[in-house]
A = this chain, B = another copy of it.
Amino acid sequence: MSRIRAGVYGGSGYAGLDLVEILSAHPAVDLVFATSNSYRGEPAPGAALRYIAPAEAPLESADVIFLALPHRASASWVKRGIEAGVKVVDLSADLRLDSPEAYAAHYHAPHPHPELLPAPYGLPEINRANLAGVDVVATPGCYPTTALLGLYPLLRHNALAADAPVFIDAKSGVTGAGRKPSLSTHFAEVYSNLVPYKTGRCHRHIGELEQEARKLTPRMGPIVFCPHLLPVDRGLMTSMYVTLHDSFNSSQAQDLFAECYANEPLVDVLRTGEQATLKHAVKTNRCVISITPALESYLHIASVTDNLRKGAASQAVQNMNLMVGLDETMGLI
């Protein structure tokens, strides 16, 4: 089989850096370019090339491009890729929501290219059937990836109490906030601190999270979502508190999760009594999940990823593998 030529737009942000590193080590991929406005001309860490400006990138020379760009900027590159006949893995939010209306509601601006919607949602463990061989994929956000994988076995089996709220207390390392300097990511502000932000229902990731969860359990209750900035560089935990349907006892959850993910190489379900910690997932391409029953009706689920890997770059590569017909986990395990 011929090798895949891949290009990365936005290769010097934190997700872009991990993408460049993973693609450079991928056995079936040739990384043909990585763009960066800030670092053009400098060597891309972990790769055998130098950053170039986006306008100079030989788009047509690639089989697939990865867009690790800000939302709203990304959509126009999706179009260019499509027009050039190049497959596109978008890591921004521009393709994640199914409708322009939902996009406008969560991103407070009109969608720049509504004709691109809807696009396949690139969470392979849940939506694999719709990803093989396609030309464009929306790679999910880090929070929705981690939360959905932690809820999926319950959603698929309708095991949640109808209408009961799902509380998600999430914690993310600072790379999740991007590489652009700001006071909120200044070392001295984050260090020794723990900061809740955009709590309740105002974080924009709640849109794709509810959209995808409701495809599995239409009568799911509302999600209350409270992210926190952790004083670490990488790693993301969603701690989820759910109320179970009367027909389902909390003691059944462990088996349900174990069975659901038995053949998933990138999802680990820990044994009863073990707790998923940040270290289980950081610098890996996996999601690690632990389940703790509380009384008969409640569960605490800890789902952990590396926000830059399964929450971004490695999931994007997993999607690429599916899109071009490679083994799904090639370059990832």
Docked-complex contact B279 and A196, CB < 8 angstroms = no
Bound Cα distance A259, B195 (Å): 25
Docked-complex contact A226 and B300, CB < 8 angstroms = yes
Interface digits, A249-280 against B, CB 8 Å rule (1 contact, 0 not)? 00000000000000000000000000111110
The copy count of this chain in the complex is 4
- Which A residues between 170 and 184 are near B, CB-CB below 8 angstroms? 171, 173-175, 179, 181-183
Residues of B close to A228: CB separation below 8 A: 239
Q: Does A224 contact B (CB under 8 A)?
A: yes
Query: Nearest Cβ in chain B — how far from A198, in angstroms?
Result: 9
Residues of B close to A196: CB separation below 8 A: 239, 275-277, 290, 300, 302
In the complex, which residue of chain B has the Cβ closest to the Cβ of A242?
A: B167
Interface digits, A222-253 against B, CB 8 Å rule (1 contact, 0 not)? 10101010111111010101010000000000
Docked-complex contact B187 and A239, CB < 8 angstroms = no
- From known contacts A186-B181, A191-B174, infer whether A200 and B279 are also in contact, taking CB-CB under 8 Å: no
Q: Which of B179, B181, B187, B292 contacts A231 (CB 8 A)?
A: B187
Docked-complex contact B193 and A279, CB < 8 angstroms = yes
Q: Which of B185, B190, B226, B232 contacts A192 (CB 8 A)?
A: B232
Docked-complex contact B169 and A241, CB < 8 angstroms = yes
Docked-complex contact B294 and A188, CB < 8 angstroms = no
Q: Does A199 contact B (CB under 8 A)?
A: yes
Docked-complex contact A187 and B233, CB < 8 angstroms = yes
Docked-complex contact B14 and A188, CB < 8 angstroms = yes
- From known contacts A241-B241, A298-B165, infer whether A192 and B192 are also in contact, taking CB-CB under 8 Å: yes
Q: Does A293 contact B (CB under 8 A)?
A: yes
Q: Does A73 contact B (CB under 8 A)?
A: no
Residues of B close to A283: CB separation below 8 A: 283
- From known contacts A194-B230, A300-B224, infer whether A167 and B241 are also in contact, taking CB-CB under 8 Å: yes
Query: Nearest Cβ in chain B — how far from A16, in angstroms?
Result: 13
Query: Nearest Cβ in chain B — how far from A278, in angstroms?
Result: 4
Most buried by B among A167, A232, A243, A277: A167
Docked-complex contact B183 and A185, CB < 8 angstroms = no
- Which A residues between 73 and 90 are near B, CB-CB below 8 angstroms? none
Residues of B close to A195: CB separation below 8 A: 275, 277-278
Q: Does A282 contact B (CB under 8 A)?
A: yes
Q: Which of B165, B185, B239 contacts A186 (CB 8 A)?
A: B185
Residues of B close to A190: CB separation below 8 A: 187
Q: Which of B193, B194, B277 contacts A193 (CB 8 A)?
A: B277
A-B contact pairs, 11 of them (CB 8 A): A179-B186, A179-B188, A181-B185, A185-B188, A193-B232, A196-B275, A196-B302, A201-B295, A224-B298, A231-B232, A241-B241
A-side residues, CB < 8 A to B, are 14, 165, 167, 169, 171, 173-175, 179, 181-183, 185-197, 199-201, 222, 224, 226, 228, 230-235, 237, 239, 241, 243, 275-279, 282-283, 290, 292-295, 297-298, 300, 302
- Known pairs A185-B186, A191-B232 / 7 extra A-B pairs, C-beta < 8 Å: A165-B243, A169-B241, A179-B183, A186-B187, A194-B230, A195-B278, A200-B300
